[in-house]
Amino acid sequence: MSTEPVSTRAAADARRLEIRNIVGIWLGMTVLLVIFSLWVPARLMGPPASPTMRAVEQTMTIFSVLASPVAALVWAIALYSLLRWRSRSGIQPAEDGPPLRTHGPSTISWTVTSVILCVVLLIWGLAEMTTVSSAATAANPLVVNVTGQQWLWTFSYPDQGDVESDQLYLPVNRPVVFHVISKDVIHSFWVVQMGIKIDANPGQVTKTEVTPDKIGVFDVRCAELCGLRHADMETSAHVLSASDFAAWITVNGGHT
């Protein structure tokens, strides 16, 4: 090694320094992005009103954290290339860059890493899918029939004496299965803070399920453009305590 010419060693040192700087920028950006990932997406989505929404927000956070080093790496190299490899003359650089055509290790590690990330995301997603559909297999779920029509939602409770309502009322902590259908065009039944959505199709009953775990008033929106008053096809979802829900059913002529 000591026989190496000084200039080559100096170049190698410079290259090592370069790599160190890029890694520095990369780590710095990664930290910033991770902080962003932990704080922002879930916060914007608001407090979850069901385990489903909690799982979704967790997914958004985890995916953002996982994406942080990837985005940071791309941006760090791009930024460094602008800072240090940029030709400042404003005209065509006098000499060309090094003719680097391939670099096996980086290509292979890049590909392997992205395949691994992809598999992790897939496994996470599949596991999450079983979690969020668990209400469907729960014993004694509350069944709610949801009807979408241009441009209103109506709800009925077949096991409670067909109580009807233009707003959604649910008891807290009881699994609910929604049977969703449309009278006309495609609508999409969306309970925003519970993280569930399923299209209301004409002629086909679709199902979705959730266990609301927070008392409060939430938003039901239509998420599929359904014509003139699509924007106003909204109503409220009221999550009540079990006794308040029973009282609401009774007042509306049903039985529990």
Q: Which of residues 106-135 bind other proteins (CB under 8 A)?
A: 106-107, 110-111, 114-115, 117-118, 121-122, 124-126, 128-129, 131-132
Query: Is residue 147 close enough to count as binding other proteins by CB under 8 A?
Result: yes
In angstroms, the CA 164 to CA 150 distance is 18
Which of 2-10, 89-97, 169-177, 242-250 is the region at the interface with other proteins (rule: CB under 8 A)?
A: 89-97
By beta-carbon proximity to other proteins, the closer residue of 227 and 243 is: 227
CA-wise closest residue to 58 among 139, 142, 124: 124
In angstroms, the CA 77 to CA 106 distance is 14
Query: Is residue 137 close enough to count as binding other proteins by CB under 8 A?
Result: no
The pattern of x and - marking residues 208 through 247 that bind other proteins according to CB under 8 A reads x----------x-xxxxxxxxxxxx-xxx-----------
Query: Is residue 38 close enough to count as binding other proteins by CB under 8 A?
Result: no
**Angle of CA points 7, 12, 13, to nearest 5°:** 95
Q: Segment 182-211, which members bind other proteins (CB under 8 A)?
A: 183-186, 188, 190, 192-193, 195-199, 201-204, 206-208
**For the chain, how many residues are written?**
256
Q: Segment 54-73, which members bind other proteins (CB under 8 A)?
A: 55-56, 59-60, 63-64, 67, 70-71
Q: Which of 17, 137, 166, 241 binds other proteins (CB under 8 A)?
A: 166
By beta-carbon proximity to other proteins, the closer residue of 236 and 243 is: 236
Residue 20 CB, nearest distance to other proteins (Å)? 15
Query: Is residue 85 close enough to count as binding other proteins by CB under 8 A?
Result: yes
DSSP string covering 10-49, please? Answer: HHHHHHHHHHHHHHHHHHHHHHHHHHHHHHHHHHHH-S-S
Contact of 180 with 126, CB cutoff 8 Å: no
Q: Which of 53, 144, 176, 249 binds other proteins (CB under 8 A)?
A: 53
- 3-state DSSP call for residue 129? helix
Give the phi and the psi of residue 45 in degrees, each rounded to 5.
-75, -15
Contact of 213 with 241, CB cutoff 8 Å: no
Residue 2 CB, nearest distance to other proteins (Å)? 26
Residue 197 CB, nearest distance to other proteins (Å)? 5
Query: Is residue 11 close enough to count as binding other proteins by CB under 8 A?
Result: no
Which of 24-32, 53-61, 137-145, 243-251 is the region at the interface with other proteins (rule: CB under 8 A)?
A: 53-61
**Angle of CA points 106, 109, 114, to nearest 5°:** 120
Contact of 143 with 158, CB cutoff 8 Å: yes
In angstroms, the CA 83 to CA 61 distance is 31
